[in-house]
Amino acid sequence: MTDYTHDSDREVIMDPNPKIAQKTPFVVDEKAGKYAWCSCGKTENQPYCDGSHKADGLCRPMTIELEADKKVAWCGCKHTKNQPFCDGSHKDLG
């Protein structure tokens, strides 16, 4: 059982060549609520979407709702296979 839900009505479109924001996760103590994770790496408000992707239209954020307060390791490299969470993919980047 997960302690979050995601907006399954919207397809998350990943930028095929996202900007690597950092090669480590953004570890944050989050409160229960909705969050929009930046999937393109262009936001100035990492790890959250600020709409910067709209300039090129290549991607969309992933919106999730945390059902309880928790520590989250948001993906910083934008190459995770477990969107929006870090899965260690940054270790394989050059």
The 3 state secondary structure assigned to 33-93 is EEEEECCCCCCCCCCECCCHHHHCCCCCCEEEEECCCEEEEECCCCCCCCCCECCCHHHHC
pLDDT tens, residue by residue, 3-61: 655 555 555 666 678 889 999 999 999 999 999 999 889 899 999 999 887 777 667 78
pLDDT of residue 56: 72
Rounded CA separation 93/20 (Å): 10
pTM listed for this prediction? 0.84
